[in-house]
A = this chain, B = another copy of it.
């Protein structure tokens, strides 16, 4: 199913008239770029790319799309890894990047309202001046709208929660072209259904997120970074479990496995043996941060951890976490010239060590190269396969392993994706995770919100043609 060429002509003309000619493009390069994202999934270019600057223009775009039966694909910074922006049925890519104003900030209520195209780093710069920060950090410099759409999370989720916990309210243009506000600015409410959380993680299938009101937090008085290596992944995971169990309010706890650390060793030309390593961060008062570090050091030592090093100095902290920040580059150093295929699952933390052990055994037995990085406080981990893009057999083997990993995660009470979303990459696992009845309800819900089927079709739910 694609949009007819004559319809595209009409759409492009109407859009240019309604917005502005220079904010409606059919250039091949722009289309190619907008159909891709940071992913192994091949780009599927949309027919048209538009750049609205106001919510009214978004309404207009959706109105024309409905009238002419064209798909609408919301687009943020293009950092999705599961093919969320692939225009698999053609249509209009709505690039929200020019809607990037900060709309309001309330220091006492600790909330900020922004347009969907504001990026994570832009927001951080703005908030930093007031001594506050927005905690959700997926790594990429994604837009707030994109982070809402995938239900993003990241390194700080163990302490501050994911987008679900940090979005107070959304302003959305629905699939039927209405502008709604999903909630008030109150910290909590029991007034009606939670539309906010319904749009968080809906991957552009229910409407276009145009604005968001987010919780922010005071920048802690003191921040400490720490690293510690362990004799095994099991020991490192157990240290994370014990830390959380004791109620130590750890702000970040990241695991790099021995293969990932071998990449670091090569990239940075280090001499030491690569060992599974935890990267930690503590937030609080000076005294509290020091106490947290000492407590975690004690936990680590009991589990055979060595070289526990920590610091509150900015320069030292940056150095301590350097290896974590280089993870992606380091993974690629394991097999120069190859392409990285990144995936994520999330399991109950009590199942994490065994799950990681099984996944590592699978990888090693297959002869493939893959690094593991985990947000271990949440039971969430990423596997980055380093693949020869010209070797279809190798890619098939990786896909086979990937599928085993997901089935294993679901079997132990976990999810097929902790933070990347379903996109087109994981549609076949949706029913395995949720069951047929739940997926039927989700589909019915989508059809209720989007009776014309124009909003990012082919995402989340398997298509009849999907394997």
Contact = CB atoms under 8 A, between A and B. Distances in A.
B191 A430 contact: yes
A415 B191 contact: yes
B291 A244 contact: no
Given A198-B193, A288-B288, A186 B107 contact: no
A420 interface: yes
Contacts of A180: 434-435, 437-438, 441
Contacts of A429: 191
Contacts of A437: 174, 178-180
Q: In the complex, which of the residues A108, A351, A438 has the most CB atoms of chain B within 10 Å of its own CB atom?
A: A108
A328 interface: no
B188 A380 contact: yes
Interface string A206-231: 00000000000111110000000000
Given A441-B174, A448-B444, A417 B189 contact: yes
A35 interface: no
B460 A192 contact: yes
Contacts of A162: 188
Interface string A373-390: 000001110000000000
Interface in A407-457: 409-410, 413-422, 426, 429-430, 433-435, 437-439, 441-442, 444-449
A187 B415 CA distance: 9
A150 B194 CA distance: 11
Given A247-B217, A410-B184, A413-B185, A422 B190 contact: yes
Contact of A190 (B182, B417, B441): B417
A186 B442 contact: no
Contact of A245 (B190, B218, B421): B218
Copies in the complex: 2
Contacts of A78: none
A350 B417 CA distance: 37
B151 A190 contact: yes
A190 B418 contact: yes
A445 B442 contact: no
B348 A185 contact: yes
B190 A108 contact: no
A109 interface: yes
A415 B174 contact: no
10 contacts: A174-B437, A180-B441, A184-B414, A186-B378, A190-B201, A190-B417, A191-B417, A192-B430, A287-B287, A288-B291
Interface of A: 106-111, 150-153, 157, 161-162, 164-165, 174, 178-195, 197-198, 200-202, 217-221, 241, 244-247, 249, 283-285, 287-288, 291, 295, 346-351, 378-380, 409-410, 413-422, 426, 429-430, 433-435, 437-439, 441-442, 444-449, 460
